Amino acid sequence: MRPPELKSGTADLTKSTSVESKPNHPINIPMTSLLFSTFEVARQAFYKSSLSYAIVNIKPIVPGHVLVIPTRPVLRLAELNASELTSFMHSVQRVGTVIERAYGADALTVACQDGKAAGQSVPHVHFHLLPRKAVGDRYSNNNDAIYPALEEGEDNLASDLAKPQTREPFKVDADEDRLPRSLEEMEQEARWLRTFFEPDEIMYLP
């Protein structure tokens, strides 16, 4: 199967991928509730352990930009207990491995604004994971440029989550003037990503 088209601006995830997916996975689990702070994100979720989960981003900076979040809503890393922290870090590693392969990347940018003074806008600690390419990445000629973009994206995350937009067709938007994606767009990407995980890695999804 062919990988999704990952040009610097957009990726069409309706196309097949070179990473073997698992079409028989139970991806149609009924959604109930999953909160990122006070925001309902169940339809954006594509991975969940017992103590942490991952969601697609409403305004990805690069194709495959996702968030990994502990299930219990705490502001700071230091507030997680040992079991929660272990699960959280394992999820960062596991999700990072999957999205790097799924999006044909060579590396990852992993970032956490741990507290309001560090730029955190949603009061629920989380990691940003961004697949990166040695060639063809919009930041490959200036790696440090991704950090101001990430900071700006974090600044707007709470307001973007509160007001998702409706637009078609579905694409992973990585344009400078990108708009918040619709719930339908995010759900489509999330369901695609679920096919790369084992059944026990998505069975906890609400």
165 is known to lie in a ligand binding site: no
DSSP assignment of 164-180, as one string? ----SS--EE--TTPPP
142 is known to lie in a ligand binding site: no
188 is known to lie in a ligand binding site: no
| C-alpha 171, offset from chain centre | 14
| Identified catalytic residue from 25, 65, 124, 126 | 126
120 is known to lie in a ligand binding site: yes
Cβ count near 159 (within 10 Å): 10
57 is known to lie in a ligand binding site: yes
122 is known to lie in a ligand binding site: yes
Active site residue 126: yes
Distance from C-alpha of 125 to C-alpha of 70, rounded to nearest angstrom: 7
Distance from C-alpha of 8 to C-alpha of 19, rounded to nearest angstrom: 20
128 is known to lie in a ligand binding site: yes
Provide the pairing of β-strand 39-40 with 45-48: unpaired
Binding-site residues for substrate, please? 57, 113, 119-122, 128
Residues belonging to the active site: 126
Binding-site residues, please? 57, 113, 119-122, 128
